[in-house]
Amino acid sequence: MTLDNIREEINKANTIVILTHETPDGDAIGSSMAMYNSLKQLNKEVDLIIPEYADTFKFLPNSKEIKKEGRKDVYDLAIALDCGDIKRLNGFAKYFEDAKVTINIDHHSSNTMFADYNFVNPDAPATCQILILVLEHLKINITKEIGTCLLTGIITDTGGFKYAATTAETFEFTAWLLGIGVNVADTYKRVLEIKTRSNFELTKIAENRIEFLEEGKISYTYITKEDENRVNAKQGDHEGLVNIGREIKGVEVSVLLREDKQGYKVSLRSNNYVNVADICVLFGGGGHIRAAGCLLHTNLQDAKDKIINEIKKHLR
């Protein structure tokens, strides 16, 4: 059984590297930090490599120890967390490929099973929720610190316990975390609620531009590079903008276009029936049925036309 193999390989290894996907969100950082703190508990020589991440997550216990580069010699073991594809390993796939043994723990249904041992559960709402089982199997003492890391991923990827993928285990584990003294409300606030001023300014811009199309079933808005520069946006400041439209009564698909070096990044969210992953796949992207994205190498008007025309075909 994969879990037994994972335990054996971790027990055997002395030097371990932990990697996660590029532009890491709360589940990527939370699961990586939970694994890092757990392996420290097992007295391993462990490096967690994340070149850049949002300030939001700097409150996580021991996040100061996150490194930008790994060691020169080959690691005994590499563990990828919350990463569906080796190409998304922050540009640090070399540490993974060079390692003697590799493990991949994830919840993306598109996971390419790129490691020696792959523990992938697409039904789990977060990689952090999968880690509960893994850490128990490793006989890790889930401390307040490790619990806070796990909760960070759970809160991020369930949208604060609100998405349909949230399970009874999500709620039971959170109750248990409260019992061991984890400050759930504080973690929630830090991870999901507190907006930077730049994010607030981008929100205003995106809101003021929202158009409702097809009898209000589509909401459309965009932000440009110039907008982001003007409000001094940093990594993560555009997070959540695509949700503005999704939350308005009658909207089935919310569209956000965000200017990128190569064109416009498209983010789609749907509420009830449109499979937005299907739409994004047509344009070389992908994702989940209610949340997906793609990149269009064109100008704003053309990107808007292309994506809206495709969405229209899916509306009832």
Residues that bind a second copy (CB under 8 A): 160-164, 166-172, 174-176, 178-179, 184-186, 188-189, 192-197, 200, 203-204, 207-208, 210, 212, 216, 247-250, 271
Q: To which residue do tokens 């029936």 refer?
A: 273
Q: Which is nearer to a second copy, 84 or 245 (CB)?
A: 245
Q: Which is nearer to a second copy, 1 or 164 (CB)?
A: 164
Least separation in angstroms between CB 175 and a second copy:
4
Q: Which is nearer to a second copy, 72 or 249 (CB)?
A: 249
Q: Which is nearer to a second copy, 152 or 170 (CB)?
A: 170
Q: Which is nearer to a second copy, 118 or 167 (CB)?
A: 167
Least separation in angstroms between CB 57 and a second copy:
14
Q: Which is nearer to a second copy, 197 or 225 (CB)?
A: 197
- Of 132, 129, 109, 128, nearest to 120 by C-alpha is 109
Least separation in angstroms between CB 95 and a second copy:
34
Burial class of residue 243 (count of CB atoms within 10 Å of its CB; 0-12, 13-18, 19+): middle
Least separation in angstroms between CB 269 and a second copy:
12
Q: What is the dihedral of CA 99, 153, 84, 131, to 10 degrees?
A: 60
- Of 148, 156, 133, 112, nearest to 24 by C-alpha is 156
Least separation in angstroms between CB 183 and a second copy:
8
Half-sphere exposure in the Cβ direction for 132 (13 Å, CA) = 21
- Of 180, 165, 213, nearest to 315 by C-alpha is 213
Least separation in angstroms between CB 162 and a second copy:
5
